[in-house]
Amino acid sequence: MNEKPTDYIYVPVRAELVQEIYRRRDIRGSEVISIANYVNDALEIHLEGTAGHADAWDNDEYIETYWEDREWEEEQKKYGDRDKGYMWKNLFLPNRTKLRMTYKAAVHEAEIRHQQIVFDEQTEFEGKPFSPSSLVSKIAEGTNRNAWRDIYIQRPGDRDWVLADVARNA
């Protein structure tokens, strides 16, 4: 990192605080302590420890943005890029799309994460990545079904569920 003098500001620190740092540190046999590094480290620890805390900071915009960023990061970890997804023939299912099927009066849901179908936290069925067809087969206990007519989808931001067969022809 190429640091320049303009990368810093200079803050007066009370002499007794610096003396107290030296008093508490055992400097025998250790390298010389840099007060600037010590203060920078302490500030970084404080900032990291209070990030997003409304009781520590009074900038509502910062706090809101901080938590939005964290939510976005968590979403990225769980689902992957919002612009990517799973291509089912001619029907694109973006990451975060939910899939639903009802079988024997039980509702089963899967979702698209990192460009793959995830059902019961699994991405494979019989050693292969889930396809809509294998998902339906697993849910329907191995019976042969038409996934287009069994799966309803709810894309991110949509309120309603749409039959996959209708969605592909829309």
- pLDDT per residue as tens digits for the range 146-159: 999 999 999 999 99
Same domain, yes or no: 97 and 156: yes
Distances (CA, A) of 163 to 32, 142, 151: 69, 21, 6
Same domain, yes or no: 53 and 104: no
Domain limits for position 134: 85-168
Q: Looking at residue 66, what is its pLDDT? A: 76
SS3 of residue 106 by DSSP: strand
Number of domains into which the chain is organized: 2
**Whether pLDDT at 24 is above 90:** no
Q: Looking at residue 36, what is its pLDDT? A: 80
Strands 98-103 and 162-163, sheet pairing: unpaired
Instruction: Name which residue leads in pLDDT, 103 or 50.
Output: 103
**Listed residues 56, 79, 102: the one ending a domain:** 79
**Listed residues 63, 79, 95: the one ending a domain:** 79
Same domain, yes or no: 90 and 130: yes
Same domain, yes or no: 52 and 114: no
- 148 with 164: CB under 8 angstroms? yes
Average pLDDT over the chain reads 87
Same domain, yes or no: 60 and 134: no
Query: What is the pTM (predicted TM-score) of this model?
Result: 0.61
- 112 with 145: CB under 8 angstroms? no
**pLDDT tens per residue across span 72-102:** 788 888 999 889 999 999 999 999 999 999 9
Q: Looking at residue 28, what is its pLDDT? A: 60
Same domain, yes or no: 136 and 91: yes
Beta bridge partners of 122: 119
Degrees, nearest 5: CA angle 86-88-93: 45
Q: Looking at residue 26, what is its pLDDT? A: 65
Looking at residues 10-24, what average pLDDT do you find?
Answer: 83
Same domain, yes or no: 17 and 61: yes
